[in-house]
Every structure is written in C-alpha cells, then in structure tokens.
Amino acid sequence: MTNKAHINYQLILEQVFDKMTGLENSGQVATYIPQLAKVDANKLGIHLIDSEQSHYSVGDACEKFSIQSIAKVLSLTLALKARGDSLWQRVGVEPSGSAFNSLVQLEYEKGRPRNPFINAGAIVVCDVLISEYRQPKSELLKFIRALSGNAKLSFDPAVAESEKRTSYRNNALAHLMKDFGNIDNDIETVLDLYCYLCSIEMTCQEMAQTFMYLADNGVNPLTGEVVVSSIEAKRINAIMQLCGFYDEAGEFSFTVGLPGKSGVGGGIIAIHPKHYSVAVWSPKLNSKGNSFIGMKVLEAITTISQSSIF
C-alpha cells in the first residue's frame, strides 16, 4: 500500500462521534422483520483500519449487527472469483435510477438486473454461487471468515428465516428473472441462500477488517492472500461508487466521495482505496433506506481528513 503521512484517525473519530451526539436523528429503524425492529436505535459505532493495519474505534464498534445488503459485495466478490468477466452477461454494472426492489426496470430490460447490489442482481449472484459450489453457504462463510479474521463469524438463522417469510417481492423478482431465463437453479434454493447471505452478523471492527481487501488492491492484509486481482478490486469499488446506496448513490458520492455500501441494518462500509476501510453502524434509516447518522459520520470523516477519491 501507498504510504501516507500519519493521520490521527482516532482524534477524528472521537470528534465526529461527539458531533453526532448533538444531532437530531430523524431516521427510522427498519421494522419489516422483528429482529431488526427490536435493535436499540441509539447505537453508534465507528471503526477504521488504515493501510498499516492500525485500528481506530469509537462507540459501539464491537457490537454485532445484521450487515444485510453489505454482504452483497462479498457474494459478488466470490462469484467474480469463480466466473470472471462472464458474470457480466448475467448482471450489469449500471446504476438503477429506481428503487432497490423495483420490478419495472427488470421487466423493461428483460430480466437482466442493472447491477449486483439491487435485490434482483444479488439474487442472480446467489444463483451463480449455487451453480458453482456444492455447499454455497459453507463456502461463503469460509470466504468471509478468512477476510474478517474471525473463524466463528456466521449467519443469524432467526434473521434469515424471518426474511424468507416476508420475501414476497424478492420471490416476484426471482420468478420474473426465471421467466426470462436468468435463474438456473430452483427458486426456493436461490432465495434461501440470498436470505442467509443478508443475515450475516458482524461488528464494525469485523466489517472494516473484512473489506480491507478493497482498500489494498485485492489482497487480504491479514494473510497476504490475493482475494481478487488489483483490477477486479478497482472494479468492485467502481460498482460500489455507482450503485452502493440504492437511489442515493449520487448523494453519497457527492457528500462523502468514497465507494461504499449500506444495509438496512444501519451499517455502512466505505473504502478509501490505498488508505483505509471504515465501518459505521447506526440503526435509524433515512427515507432512502440508508443510515441517517451513518451518512453524516462518513461525510464528517472525509471532510475532516480530506479523503475523497475525487
């Protein structure tokens, strides 16, 4: 990794944390499944790891939460390792310009999802993983555990089963894609994997560690192993930049200026390539479904540390 003048990230995180305490949080906790609804809405954790593998942390950074859609970056990475560029025949790399679970665009574009982070795209990626691996769930866990350095990291089956019980719309997306010939496996199996994927639990610390390969040219800094090529790491970052925040990707690029991905559990991961990976968690969501405080935390961190990619 590129060297950089030592920045006192700990001071910045503490400063940002204090600033947030005074802020009115007009967001709402996700309530579509009980496991998310019952989370303490006032939690706030931030964890940053820099290119020299130094850790900086404030608040509830060591508490587990449901990473939800953030896991879609990990399933994409695994599918890309398996399939390479042929993956893009099944799913695009363009921003969607509409809600994360809309069927409209999917129908107009004949069942090929716009990108791997809208629900339809992540479902196609799960379909690919099922075709590739005999035990896709174990394979996924093995992959994520190696990245996180925590061999016990796992799914939350209660979350996964709840998601499955309320996943009518995802079911609609999957059936529509099957109708267009873009799902190879049994729909129930595909959605089962999708729901388990979204149920992964991590702390901010674990999340920042897990995604360090995207700040480090595709290399897992814990093991030195090449996760994906340098060029593929850049491409995943590019997709996060354009598609990582549902219908608020522009706003995030505009105010934060880093590639990132959010989840309805209130987590956000952001990457400053060659510099750092930072995870935030605050459960209340804004009207676009992204963590209200999380967005503000990242805007403050990048403003103070002057660390936009632009």
Cβ at position 148, least distance to a copy of itself in Å: 22
CB of residue 58 to a copy of itself, shortest distance in Å: 24
Residues binding a copy of itself (CB under 8 A): 92-98, 102-105, 107-108, 114-115, 168-169, 171-176, 178-179, 231, 233-235, 237-239, 241-243, 247-251, 253-254, 257, 259, 273, 303, 308-310
What's the first-to-final CA gap in the chain, in angstroms? 19
For a copy of itself, the closer of residues 162 and 241 by Cβ is 241
Report the nearest approach of a copy of itself to the CB of residue 225 (Å).
20
Q: Which is nearer to a copy of itself, 46 or 91 (CB)?
A: 91
Compute the distance between CA of residue 177 and CA of residue 181 in angstroms, rounded to an integer: 6
116 vs 267, beta carbon nearer a copy of itself: 116
Q: In whole angstroms, how close is the CB of 188 to a copy of itself at the nearest point?
A: 11
Q: How far is the CB of 136 from a copy of itself (least distance, A)?
A: 22
* Residue 206 or 232 with smaller CB distance to a copy of itself: 232
User: Which residue positions form the known binding site?
Assistant: 69, 119, 163, 170, 194, 246, 264
Q: Least CB distance from residue 300 to a copy of itself, whole Å?
A: 13
Nearest CB to a copy of itself, comparing residues 15 and 171: 171
DSSP symbols for the chain: --------HHHHHHHHHHHHHTS----EE--SSHHHHTS-TT--EEEEEETT--EEEEESTTS-EE-GGGHHHHHHHHHHHHHGGGGGGTS--S--SS-TT-SHHHHHTTT--SSTTSHHHHHHHHHHHHHH-SSHHHHHHHHHHHHHT-TT--B-HHHHHHHHHT-HHHHHHHHHHHHTT---S-HHHHHHHHHHHHTBEE-HHHHHHHTHHHHTTTB-TTT--BSS-HHHHHHHHHHHHHHTTGGGHHHHHHHT-S-EEE-TTSEEEEEETTTEEEEEE--EE-TTSSBHHHHHHHHHHHHHHT----
CB of 308 to a copy of itself, least distance (A): 5
Instruction: Give 133 or 245: the residue with its C-beta nearer to a copy of itself.
Output: 245
Binding residues for substrate are 69, 119, 163, 170, 194, 246, 264
Of residues 55 and 235, the one with the C-beta less far from a copy of itself: 235
CA atoms within 13 A on the CB side of 252: 30
Give the residue among 296, 291, 258 at the shortest CA–CA distance from 277.
258
